[in-house]
A and B are shown apart, each in its own frame.
Chain A
Amino acid sequence: MHEYSIVEALISRVAEEAAARGASGVSRLYVKIGALSGVEPELLAAAYETFRERTVCAGAELKIERVEERWACPQCGRTVVRAGALRCPECGRPGRLVEGDEIVLERIEMEVP
């Protein structure tokens, strides 16, 4: 359950940003979680519910956007589908994960008096 340590890092990053801007509260967080990031959105949401009490995020809704995995050939750019071997169907080069491994804090909505 590393989702707890991710939530810890998330809340401390938000606290830093809120303090820097003199925010009185945080109303919403937007994060992106890739399908191949190793983080389960449901577990992350559950961990967030547990940890946000008595933090700057106590009243902040967590919006999680899930990003599907996408592979492509690094040479010719063709889409590689993860079904058989992870290789370009055209030139045979190993595919590259273009997106789907992100664990990213995109945006914070905060209340500034």
Chain B
Amino acid sequence: MCLECGCGDPEIVAVDVHEKILAGNERAAAHNREHFAANGILAINLMGSPGSGKTALLEATAARLGREFRLGAVSGDLATERDAERLRAAGIPARSITTGNACHLDAAMVHRALHDFSADRLDILAIENVGNLVCPAVYDLGQHVSVVALSVTEGEDKPLKYPVMFLKADLVLLTKVDLLPHLKGVSVAGFADALGRVMPAPKMIAVSAYHGDGLDEWIGWLRERLALRAGKHPGAHARTHGRFA
């Protein structure tokens, strides 16, 4: 009620919120992190353009890993189970998350997938995001590391054109390097230079899923990250579970 004259107009009240609009997603992501911690899993958010070679990279990684680590995957796609089928054929336990029209995965979608997944016996869970260089960068999924697959055919300017995707990446895998001899004026050094302009601590590994180049270095990088996460932390997960079931 207007207090000046009693005219009945509602009073305008300003409420300071100062909160991230995606705070709900961040809470769900924190809960996923507890899932991973409770099971001693290293979670990777694998992002990149459609066709950048994310699935092929996981297939080649599984073949090269042998029995050293148990790798599982959840795979986001607008439609079809194709990626998950390919991954299962490569011996990787995999579930797909069909997003319909959504251009990215969010933490709640990943959480639902974790529950029909026997994730308790994995060392590494790769979350293969929807192919897209824009939207997935905005949503925390609870991953420990963000990896971007960038194929040489996409061009050296992509990091400069899509800085948000690259600036928070822990690692960029430059894929399909076996095609470099066919690409005029494109070089590994050109990609490294572009990444140095958008990543504060640029880290890039050049790989070929087809010929196997760089896979040992990539697996070595995973080994280091796993060592950092060694040891399970049971208990935390149960505390927040009811909120995201």
Contact = CB atoms under 8 A, between A and B. Distances in A.
A49 to B, nearest CB: 17
Nearest to B17: A105
Given A37-B138, A85-B197, A110-B13, A2 B21 contact: no
B8 to A, nearest CB: 8
6 contacts: A2-B139, A5-B102, A86-B196, A104-B19, A110-B15, A112-B12
Q: Output the residue of A24, A71, A85, A97 with the most chain B CB within 10 A.
A: A85
Interface string A80-113: 0011111100000011110001111111111111
B164 A112 contact: no
Interface of A: 1-2, 5-6, 9-10, 12-13, 17, 21, 23-25, 27, 31, 36-39, 71, 82-87, 94-97, 101-113
Interface of B: 1, 10-25, 102-104, 106, 134-135, 137-139, 163-165, 167, 196-201
B103 A1 contact: yes
A9 B198 contact: no
Contact of A82 (B18, B19, B197): B197
A2 B199 CA distance: 23
Contacts of B139: 2
Interface of B (DSSP majority class):
mixed
A84 B10 contact: no
A87 B23 CA distance: 30
A112 B137 CA distance: 38
Contact of A83 (B24, B25, B197, B201): B197
Contact of A107 (B15, B103, B138, B201): B15
Nearest to B135: A2
Nearest to B19: A105
Contact of A36 (B13, B20, B167, B200): B167
